[in-house]
Amino acid sequence: MFKGMNIIEFGKRFQTNADCLQYLMDIKWGEGFKCSKCGSLKYWKGKQWNNLRCQDCGYEESATAGTLFHKVKFPLLKAFHICYRVCVSKKGMSSCELSRELTLRQKTCWSFKRKIQEAMKSSEKHPLTGSVDVDEIAIGGLDERSQGRSKGNKKLVCLAVEIRKDGQMGRAYGTVINDYSSVELKKIFDTHISKEKAQVRTDEWTGYAPLKSEYAMERIKSDKGKNFPEMHNLIMNLKSWLRGIYHKCSQKHMQAYLNEFFYRFNRRAFGKSSFHKLIVTMVRTKPLFIKTFTT
Ligand SMILES: [Zn+2]
């Protein structure tokens, strides 16, 4: 497992495409081979060193097949480099910066980042517990500062954050919503907040009222965010990150951007293992094809 914390250590560990392929092979088949066509556990070496061939059906599979690295059309070393930068840099990296650094087209970097974001999706297995603050915000659009509830061309997002006993923020999530109705607001509750172990605080927006029957919930006056200082901070951080990294955030990709932001946010204490864990998830996530994300 690579545990390097800076780009020099990364450069020493991964010098060639073969180094990266070997790393993927160890993750994919380190604990044994299973044919993705017939499920057989028996294999021969493939015609290429980085392939394995099924003894039963003869299917020859590469280390990248069936993963998010499937058919990446630029050197794997550069792909690893993007993974490292996006995962370990405090704020990630924009596709323009990556494009300059790696001499790849900006679009290529953006597309590959979109794949990384797929691996950054929450597993939804660890809902928030304890004190959880929830708020809804509008992002982008010319009328970002307007206080109205009309959507315009803004992207609406519902956020939930754990407030620990020491007053620090714990984990957090963000979900794109279509409007501020109870049905839409409920999405983040259903996917990210524990029904049994969370005490939720929201502002007095009526949309939250019906959720009281399912969740332990307190609705308090927001006073322009003053009563939710941690949430206010989180919102400022999220908005400034989005402005810096993604100049245009379309509705279509907003959830992917949120996934990236909260992936790093929730792993800010993980440190050394975060790159390895990302690569493992990328190996275990089904390929995402370019057609899926043409705008
Ligand atoms: Zn087979």
Non-local CB neighbours of 69 within 8 Å, separated by 6+ positions? 24, 63, 76, 79, 282, 283
- Cα of 77 from ligand 1 centre, angstroms: 29
- Give the Å distance between the CA of 264 and the centre of ligand 1: 37
Ion ligand 1: protein residues whose beta carbon lies under 5 Å? 35, 37-38, 40, 54, 56-57, 59
Query: How many other C-beta atoms can be found within 10 angstroms of the C-beta atom of residue 75?
Result: 14
pTM of the model: 0.90
270 Cα to the center of ligand 1, angstroms: 37
**How remote is the CA of residue 39 from the centroid of ligand 1, in Å?**
6
pLDDT tens figures, 206-237: 999 999 999 999 999 888 878 899 999 999 99
User: Is 80 exceeded by the pLDDT of residue 197?
Assistant: yes
What is the reported pLDDT for 147?
A: 54
Residue type, 15: Q
Q: How is domain 128-249 classified at the architecture level of CATH?
A: 2-Layer Sandwich (3.30)
98 within 8 A of 110, measured Cβ to Cβ = no
Which helix (H) or strand (E) segment holds residue 134: the answer is strand 128-139
Statement: residue 50 has pLDDT above 60: yes
pLDDT, position 290: 61
How many angstroms is it from 285 CA to the middle of ligand 1? 20
- Strands 193-202 vs 169-177: parallel, antiparallel or unpaired: unpaired
What does the mean pLDDT of the chain come to?
91
Q: Is the pLDDT of residue 42 over 80?
A: yes
The predicted pLDDT at position 149 comes to 54
Please state whether beta strands 193-202 and 216-219 pair in parallel, antiparallel, or not at all (unpaired).
parallel
Give the Å distance between the CA of 44 and the centre of ligand 1.
11
Cα separation, 71 vs 209, whole angstroms: 48
pLDDT of 251 higher than 70: yes
**What is the pLDDT confidence band of residue 151, given thresholds at 50, 70 and 90?**
low
Distance 69 CA to ligand 1 centre (A): 21
* Residue matched to tokens 């990364």: 10
What whole-number distance in Å separates Cα of residue 294 and Cα of residue 107? 11
What's the gap in Å between 42 CA and the centre of ligand 1?
8
**Ligand 1 centroid distance, CA of 133 (Å):** 50
pLDDT cut 70: percent of the chain above it:
94
Q: What is the pLDDT of residues 117-143, one digit of tens each?
A: 999 999 999 999 999 999 999 988 654
Q: How far is the CA of 71 from the centre of ligand 1 (A)?
A: 21
Q: Greatest CA separation found in the chain? A: 67
> What is the distance in A from the centroid of ligand 1 to the CA of 284?
18
Structural domain spans, the chain: 7-31+66-119+273-293, 128-249
Tell me how far the alpha carbon of residue 61 lies from the centroid of ligand 1, in angstroms.
9
Distance 35 CA to ligand 1 centre (A): 5
Q: What angle do CA 228, 206, 197 make, to 5 degrees?
A: 60
Amino acid at 42: K
CA of 31 to the centre of ligand 1 (A): 17
Query: In sequence order, which residues have a C-beta less than 8 Å from that of residue 90 and are 6 or more positions away?
Result: 264
Residue 264: which residues within 8 A CB-CB, separation 6 or more?
Answer: 87, 90, 91, 92
The 3-state DSSP class for residue 84 equals: helix
Contact 196, 170 (CB under 8 A): no
Where residue 174 falls among pLDDT bands split at 50, 70, 90? Answer: very high
Residue 66 C-alpha to ligand 1 middle, in angstroms?
14
Start-to-end CA distance of the chain, whole Å, equals 37
pLDDT one-digit tens code per residue, 74-86: 999 999 999 999 9
